[in-house]
């Protein structure tokens, strides 16, 4: 197994397209899955690559990208971290 971070790091260095840094507002598991799929593809990773780097099953990655609502939050956060993504929670500003 490739050490965590190796795939992402080496792919980031060779990625011709800059990684988008604009925040995304996520309202559903489907939107989160779409974002994860897009970032994985931007990094040139297959679902198998990502699953191996995260120590998770291919089935989990596939279901996560399809927006399956029952995915465990800890595993989801791990996948996001491996893709170089972070979760930011903001409180609406009072008025």
Note down the domain range covering 39. 28-85
pLDDT digits (tens, 9 = 90+) for 69-82: 776 888 888 899 99
Asked if residue 4 has pLDDT above 60, the reply is no
Residue 46 to residue 62: CA distance in whole angstroms: 10
Whole-number Å distance between alpha carbons of 40 and 65: 10
**Is 46 part of a structural domain of the chain?**
yes
Q: What CATH number is attached to the domain comprising 52?
A: 1.10.260.40
In a domain, 67, yes or no: yes
Residue 23 counted as domain residue = no
Q: How many domains does the chain have?
A: 1
Domain membership of residue 95 (yes or no) is: no
At residue 56, the pLDDT reads 93
Which is it for the CA torsion 43, 47, 48, 51, positive or negative?
Answer: positive
Q: Is residue 19 part of a domain?
A: no
Assess if residue 92 is contained within a domain: no
Q: Is the pLDDT of residue 18 over 70?
A: no
| CA 78/CA 18 separation, integer angstroms | 22
pLDDT tens readout for residues 22-64: 677 787 888 889 999 999 999 999 999 999 999 999 999 999 9
In a domain, residue 32? The reply is yes
Q: State pTM to two decimals.
A: 0.66
Apex 50 CA angle, 68 and 38, nearest 5: 65
């Amino acid at each position: 197994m490739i050490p965590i971070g190796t795939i992402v790091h080496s792919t980031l260095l060779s990625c011709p397209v800059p990684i988008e840094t604009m925040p995304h507002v996520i309202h559903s598991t489907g939107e989160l899955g779409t974002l994860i799929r897009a970032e994985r593809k931007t990094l040139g990773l297959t679902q198998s690559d990502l699953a191996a780097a995260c120590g998770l099953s291919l089935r989990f990655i596939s279901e996560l990208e399809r927006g399956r609502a029952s995915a465990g939050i800890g595993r989801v956060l791990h996948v996001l971290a491996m893709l170089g993504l972070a979760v930011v929670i903001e409180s609406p500003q009072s008025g």
